[in-house]
Amino acid sequence: MSSTFDGFKPPLLWKHFEHILTIPHCSGNEKALGDYIISVAENSNLEWEKDKVGSVIVRKKATAGHEHAEGVILQGHLDMVGEKNSDVVHDFAKDEIQAEVKGEWVQAKGTTLGADNGIGVAASLAVMEDSTLTHGPLEFLFTVDEETGLTGATKIEPGFLKGKKLLNLDSEEEGEFTIGCAGGADSEITLALKRNAGSSGELFQLKLFGFRGGHSGIDINQGRGNAVQLLARMLWNAMKEFSFELARMEGGNKRNAIAREAWADLYIDPSQEQNLSSFFQEAFEKINLEYKAVEKEANFSFEKSDGNKEEPLTPESQEALINLLFTLPHGVLAMHPEMEGLVETSSNLAIIRTHQDHAEIICSSRSSEASALKSTRATIATLGKQAGAEINQPEGYPGWMPNLQSPLLKTLKEVYQKISQKEPEVGAIHAGLECGIIGEKFPGMDMISFGPTIEHPHSPEERVHVGSVDKFWIFLTAVLAELG
Ligand SMILES: [Zn+2]
């Protein structure tokens, strides 16, 4: 049978990846892929277990003579993000991913490929099946729903894992080891609003749009503008010089994304239109200057609105809302003191939405230091309370503190140097990883994350570098032999 990946190395890994492409497996729909893992385990006479949420664990005995080595866990997530270009017809619930080879890369036709984390899963399957490898006792952990809720990692039962060393195969740059990640937690602010009965003014809309947005962790240090924060800045400044009545405000739509758009409906006295319009024009020009290096498409408009004519907020409610949005933190709050270039603490002013009698504001904060995360959330809560708002702060997920003295890191560095004749890069990321959660549940677990080179995950441009998959495999199997 001919294969898209004929001649690719290692064949066993690519065989499994090709099969994974035929099984729809977006977050929440991982059962079929879990069943495939189980079928591979049974064909290789390996013991397996499945937990309540659908995560699967497979155990493989050590090769003869290596029974006394410490257990090693290989871990990846079953689910993928389903994103497609608007001109592509694809049903992620039932269609196969159409992969194609483009030069040194494998990409899908207009959809996400699922190399994140399909290559990591395929590597585990290949290790399960390959009888020529040398290793100690192995466990293979396949978690569900990493991408939308970190559910699989969060729900692992104590005792599900026996090993004390974990190799997470969900990193995206060959030659880089990830040894830490940020914890994160949201703050949900509800500010009660009072309204006046009607306005004599005319309704206008101030809108900021065309900002780049991006991931609120990974991209928070890129100097991008937050449309909600900048809209609040413009309104706060205007409030000092003009009178207007705020009726509605909306901006941002995802907790983990930087807001790209925000708008406010204002009643103004028609005689003030010209003055207010030039005021906003000037205010936006200053913003443009500040962000010109990164926000080339950012723009604003101030136009008559024929939208939903809601009653205006009372002056007190309006001031409380604008002041609160103006003072809530957004962006990088601290850099890590030891790891160069790593953001330690940040917060994202993610969403504002006014309703008839209240405004809903969501901030999403991250830090690799639990105490700094706690303090950032306390700041947000204090600002909210000062404005008279109610604050809900649901439990977040824990970070993973980098351990530069980790014995596992030492071994992996030595193996990498021996194979590649160069030093690996060692770093941490300012986003959540399953290792943060697993580390909290299994204290003392020594963990490292690495993988092949995958570009643009979670987008239809996702692609995996073919040569890096082979290097990743050679390194992984050498590490297993060394630890065995
Ligand atoms: Zn992933």
Q: In which residue are the tokens 């994103």 written?
A: 83
- Residue 6 located in a structural domain: no
Angle at CA 278, nearest 5°, toward 277 and 280? 65
**In angstroms, what is the span from residue 382 Cα to ligand 1's centroid?**
35
**In angstroms, what is the span from residue 53 Cα to ligand 1's centroid?**
18
Would residue 146 show up in a list of annotated catalytic residues for this protein?
yes
Q: Is residue 67 domain-shared with residue 199, that is, in the same domain?
A: no
Domain endpoint, select from 356, 373, 392: 392
Q: What is the pLDDT of residue 256?
A: 86
Number of other CB atoms surrounding residue 157 within 10 Å: 12
**In angstroms, what is the span from residue 264 Cα to ligand 1's centroid?**
37
Domain endpoint, select from 374, 392, 410: 392
Q: Is residue 383 domain-shared with residue 408, that is, in the same domain?
A: no
Taking Cα atoms as reference points, which of 85, 142, 78, 77 lies closest to residue 112? 85
Q: In which residue are the tokens 């809309």 written?
A: 205
**In angstroms, what is the span from residue 171 Cα to ligand 1's centroid?**
7
**In angstroms, what is the span from residue 424 Cα to ligand 1's centroid?**
20
Would residue 157 show up in a list of annotated catalytic residues for this protein?
no
Taking Cα atoms as reference points, which of 253, 232, 214 lies closest to residue 346? 214
Q: Is residue 16 domain-shared with residue 133, that is, in the same domain?
A: yes
Average pLDDT over residues 280-284: 98
**Residue 279: enclosing H or E segment and its boundaries?**
helix 273-291
Q: Is residue 206 domain-shared with residue 146, that is, in the same domain?
A: no
Q: Is residue 144 domain-shared with residue 216, that is, in the same domain?
A: no
Instruction: pLDDT band for 340, please (50, 70, 90 cuts).
Output: confident
Instruction: pLDDT band for 295, please (50, 70, 90 cuts).
Output: very high
- Residue 109 located in a structural domain: yes
Number of other CB atoms surrounding residue 21 within 10 Å: 22
Average pLDDT over residues 258-278: 96
Residue range of the domain that includes 117 = 11-181+400-483
Look at residue 297 and tell me whether its pLDDT is greater than 70: yes
CATH classification of the domain holding 324: 3.30.70.360
Catalytic-role residue among 30, 79, 188, 245: 79
**In angstroms, what is the span from residue 118 Cα to ligand 1's centroid?**
9
- Residue 78 located in a structural domain: yes
User: Cα separation of 276 and 241, whole Å?
Assistant: 9
Number of other CB atoms surrounding residue 1 within 10 Å: 3
Average pLDDT over residues 220-227: 95
Catalytic-role residue among 83, 145, 146, 173: 146
- Residue 4 located in a structural domain: no
**In angstroms, what is the span from residue 396 Cα to ligand 1's centroid?**
19
**In angstroms, what is the span from residue 231 Cα to ligand 1's centroid?**
34
- Residue 1 located in a structural domain: no
- Residue 35 located in a structural domain: yes
Number of other CB atoms surrounding residue 33 within 10 Å: 24
The DSSP bridge partners found for residue 346 are 332, 366
For strands 72-77 and 165-168, give the pairing: parallel
Of 340 and 416, more confident: 416
Q: CA 411: distance to chain centroid?
A: 29
Q: What is the pLDDT of residue 158?
A: 87
One-letter amino acid of 142: F
Q: Is residue 128 domain-shared with residue 54, that is, in the same domain?
A: yes
User: Cα separation of 35 and 144, whole Å?
Assistant: 12
- Residue 192 located in a structural domain: yes
Q: What is the pLDDT of residues 355-379, one digit of tens each?
A: 999 999 999 999 998 899 999 999 9
Look at residue 425 and tell me whether its pLDDT is greater than 70: yes
Cβ pair 223, 294 in contact under 8 A: yes
**In angstroms, what is the span from residue 333 Cα to ligand 1's centroid?**
26
Average pLDDT over residues 286-304: 96
**Residue 236: enclosing H or E segment and its boundaries?**
helix 227-241
Q: Is residue 217 domain-shared with residue 308, that is, in the same domain?
A: yes
Look at residue 1 and tell me whether its pLDDT is greater than 70: no
- Residue 142 located in a structural domain: yes
| Phi and psi, residue 442, nearest 5° | -125, 80
Domain endpoint, select from 345, 376, 392: 392
Average pLDDT, the chain: 95
Q: Is residue 218 domain-shared with residue 294, that is, in the same domain?
A: yes
Q: Is residue 91 domain-shared with residue 176, that is, in the same domain?
A: yes
Overall number of domains in the chain:
2
Look at residue 299 and tell me whether its pLDDT is greater than 80: yes
Look at residue 421 and tell me whether its pLDDT is greater than 80: yes
Q: Is residue 110 domain-shared with residue 255, that is, in the same domain?
A: no
Q: What is the pLDDT of residue 253?
A: 85
Q: What is the pLDDT of residues 427-455, one digit of tens each?
A: 999 988 899 999 989 999 999 999 999 99
User: Cα separation of 464 and 5, whole Å?
Assistant: 13
Average pLDDT over residues 170-193: 96
Average pLDDT over residues 307-326: 95
The burial of 251, by beta-carbon neighbours within 10 Å (0-12 exposed, 13-18 middle, 19 or more buried), is given as buried
DSSP code at position 408: H
Q: What is the pLDDT of residue 386?
A: 97
User: Cα separation of 225 and 186, whole Å?
Assistant: 20
Q: Is residue 174 domain-shared with residue 247, that is, in the same domain?
A: no
Q: What is the pLDDT of residues 392-404, one digit of tens each?
A: 999 999 999 888 8
Average pLDDT over residues 222-251: 97
Q: What is the pLDDT of residues 105-151, one digit of tens each?
A: 999 999 999 999 999 999 999 999 999 999 999 999 999 999 988 99
Q: What is the pLDDT of residue 228?
A: 98
Number of other CB atoms surrounding residue 308 within 10 Å: 9
CATH classification of the domain holding 65: 3.40.630.10
Q: Is residue 290 domain-shared with residue 404, that is, in the same domain?
A: no
User: Cα separation of 262 and 453, whole Å?
Assistant: 35
**Residue 15: enclosing H or E segment and its boundaries?**
helix 11-21
**In angstroms, what is the span from residue 458 Cα to ligand 1's centroid?**
9
